[in-house]
């Protein structure tokens, strides 16, 4: 009997997944789920970009949004900002 990951389990394991500390088997289940579930794909995609931006700016924390926006642009992240509207997006988990 094959164990299917549902969206709830998926979201529970998600932070471990993006941190890369999830076991191989569970990683595969999550990737299988993502292949079938567009919602979760979008969540992972957004989360990865958010984490990336967070790390990019971690040493310069608590700067105002406008400043951060300019910083992202100077870091050549226009692509992320325009495509994903990351700064405006509500990420709900
Ligand atoms: Zn899902």
The total number of structural domains in the chain stands at 1
Which residues fall within 8 angstroms of residue 4, CB to CB, at 6 or more apart? 29, 33
Q: How far is the CA of 72 from the centre of ligand 1 (A)?
A: 30
Write the pLDDT tens digit of every residue in 45-73. Answer: 888 888 777 777 766 556 566 666 676 66
Q: Is residue 1 part of a domain?
A: no
- Asked whether residue 49 is domain-assigned, the answer is yes
Does 91 map to a domain? no
92 part of a folded domain = no
Give the pLDDT mean for 22-51.
88
Q: Is residue 89 part of a domain?
A: no
Q: What is the pTM of this model?
A: 0.48
The rounded distance, in Å, linking the Cα atoms of 24 and 41 is 18
Domain of 25 in residue numbering reads as: 7-84
Averaged pLDDT score across all residues of the chain: 73
CA of 74 to the centre of ligand 1 (A): 34
Q: How far is the CA of 82 from the centre of ligand 1 (A)?
A: 25
């Amino acid at each position: 009997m094959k164990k299917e990951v549902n969206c709830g389990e998926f979201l529970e394991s998600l932070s471990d997944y993006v941190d890369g500390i999830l076991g191989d088997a569970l990683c595969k289940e999550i990737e299988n789920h993502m292949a079938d579930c567009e919602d979760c794909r979008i969540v992972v995609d957004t989360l990865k970009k958010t984490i990336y931006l967070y790390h990019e700016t971690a040493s310069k924390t608590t700067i105002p949004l406008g400043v951060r926006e300019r910083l992202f642009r100077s870091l050549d992240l226009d692509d992320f900002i325009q495509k994903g509207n990351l700064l405006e997006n509500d990420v709900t988990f």
